[in-house]
């Protein structure tokens, strides 16, 4: 009886005590239908990378073997998908492609684009949108949520589609198995510092905090990065973005935007302008070439020296008092964030959809994205990232 009363008391405290973020949330931070439809985790393979295609091949070959008898009398079907604007760190140019050829009870899976006249179905769109669609999982999800997520993502991209999927239940069953299997493996790509991007940061930090909890048991520390003047197409409810991490004796919370009042002032506060930082904020350092590093150095010298009009360059808006050293245990947890988040960041620039961006920050950088990047595959000139008209 006493144990029951004690348990009820603990449960009551958990309800009554304030959480790390019980201030009113930013409007941008409302629940995301896209996140709700996605597979658990943040994936480990970039969409249509050679490694991703290798895994798809294994899954498809196994599924075709299971359905071999039913496939023997089915007509040949060829599918090709072209993803424009893949991540720069892959060094694959302005587009990547893959294809599947079903021929009776055999299947061929490969990288590369096939001519239109060889395809029964050929689809082209932006790599980030295709990645996010590929991270959606059907099994165990509300079909209405899945449909709403797909609708939102398709709306903000340009599509080129030739042909159609065959009305064949066997091919459909195989496709569903492949989609759900690869959803877990495929890395999504979100707009830098958006609420959905912060969800990726939350997953990575929270997962690593469990792994390295012993180094966090004595840590009380709050980290916050705030990016001002963020573009309206990605942040329709306000010009500021960013994220915060609060560690309290082994318990870690990750939130979107400025740190809540109850955690202010943070131990580490970085206040930066959004636009000039984007190109350097999404580099994957181990994959940068010597030329990439030289290009980045040249960009930093020009873009980061520009006066904001308030007497400060864009990346030096915090004081020394706002930058207390991060505890070693939390450094270990957060040390991978930059590169891992960069792999899951889309490639648009504010200047793609806002011609008022100053010249020093507007020009695309070769270290950040391929010179052949085509901004027209995203429709952020007409819609925000949530599919609302601008």
Please indicate, yes or no, whether residues 355 and 217 belong to a single structural domain of this protein.
yes
Residue 18 is predicted with a pLDDT of 47
pLDDT tens digit string along 99-130?
999 999 999 999 999 999 999 999 999 999 99
Please indicate, yes or no, whether residues 258 and 333 belong to a single structural domain of this protein.
yes
Structural domain range at position 136: 39-185
Please indicate, yes or no, whether residues 122 and 167 belong to a single structural domain of this protein.
yes
Q: Is the pTM of this model over 0.85?
A: yes
Supply 178's token pair.
């492949």
Please indicate, yes or no, whether residues 237 and 286 belong to a single structural domain of this protein.
yes
Please indicate, yes or no, whether residues 244 and 337 belong to a single structural domain of this protein.
yes
23 in a structural domain: no
Last residue of a domain, one of 185, 204, 238: 185
Return the closest-CA partner of residue 271 out of 248, 300, 295, 241: 241
For the chain, the maximum distance between any two Cα atoms, rounded to a whole number of angstroms, is: 76
Residue 312 is predicted with a pLDDT of 67
Please indicate, yes or no, whether residues 222 and 306 belong to a single structural domain of this protein.
yes
pLDDT tens digit string along 335-359?
999 999 999 999 999 999 999 999 9
Low-confidence ranges of the chain (pLDDT < 70): 1-30, 308-313, 315-321
Instruction: Tell me how many domains the chain contains.
Output: 2
Return the closest-CA partner of residue 157 out of 180, 121, 128, 185: 128
390 in a structural domain: no
CATH of the domain at 89: 3.30.1050
Residue 3 is predicted with a pLDDT of 45
Cβ(225)–Cβ(197) below 8 Å:
no
Sequence-distant (≥ 6) Cβ neighbours of residue 147 within 8 angstroms: none
Q: Where are the beta strands (DSSP E) in 213-310?
A: 220-228, 241-248, 251-256, 268-273
DSSP3 helix / strand / coil % (the chain, rounded to 5): 40, 20, 40
Please indicate, yes or no, whether residues 96 and 154 belong to a single structural domain of this protein.
yes
């Amino acid at each position: 009886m006493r144990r029951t009363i004690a348990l009820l008391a603990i449960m009551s405290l958990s309800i009554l005590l304030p959480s790390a973020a019980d201030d009113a949330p930013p409007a941008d931070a409302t629940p995301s239908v896209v996140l709700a439809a996605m597979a658990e985790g943040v994936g480990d393979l970039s969409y249509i990378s050679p490694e991703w295609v290798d895994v798809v091949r294994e899954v498809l070959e196994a599924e075709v073997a299971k359905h071999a008898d039913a496939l023997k009398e089915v007509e040949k079907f060829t599918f090709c998908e072209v993803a424009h604007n893949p991540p720069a760190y892959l060094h694959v140019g302005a587009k990547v492609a893959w294809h599947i050829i079903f021929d009776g009870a055999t299947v061929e899976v490969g990288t590369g684009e096939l001519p239109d006249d060889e395809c029964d179905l050929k689809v082209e769109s932006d790599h980030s949108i295709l990645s996010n669609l590929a991270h959606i999982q059907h099994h165990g999800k509300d079909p209405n949520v899945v449909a709403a997520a797909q609708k939102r993502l398709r709306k903000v991209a340009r599509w080129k589609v030739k042909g159609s999927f065959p009305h064949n239940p066997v091919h459909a069953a195989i496709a569903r198995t492949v989609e759900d299997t690869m959803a877990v493996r495929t890395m999504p790509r979100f707009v830098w510092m958006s609420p959905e991007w912060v969800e990726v940061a939350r997953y990575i930090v929270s997962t690593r905090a469990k792994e390295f909890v012993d180094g966090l048991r004595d840590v009380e520390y709050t980290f916050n990065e705030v990016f001002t003047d963020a573009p309206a197409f990605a942040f329709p409810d306000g010009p500021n973005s960013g994220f915060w991490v609060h560690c309290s004796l082994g318990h870690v919370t990750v939130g979107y935007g400025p740190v809540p009042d109850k955690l202010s002032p943070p131990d580490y506060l970085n206040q930066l302008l959004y636009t000039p930082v984007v190109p350097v904020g999404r580099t994957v350092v181990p994959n940068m070439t010597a030329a990439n590093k030289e290009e980045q150095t040249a960009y930093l010298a020009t873009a980061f020296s520009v006066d904001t009009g308030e007497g400060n360059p864009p990346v030096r808006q915090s004081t020394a008092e706002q930058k207390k050293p991060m505890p070693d245990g939390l450094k270990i947890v957060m040390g991978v964030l930059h590169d891992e988040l960069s792999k899951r960041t889309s490639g648009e620039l504010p200047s793609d959809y806002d011609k008022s961006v100053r010249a020093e920050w507007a020009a695309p950088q070769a270290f950040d994205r391929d010179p052949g990047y085509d901004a027209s595959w995203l429709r952020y000139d007409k819609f925000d990232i949530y599919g609302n008209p601008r």
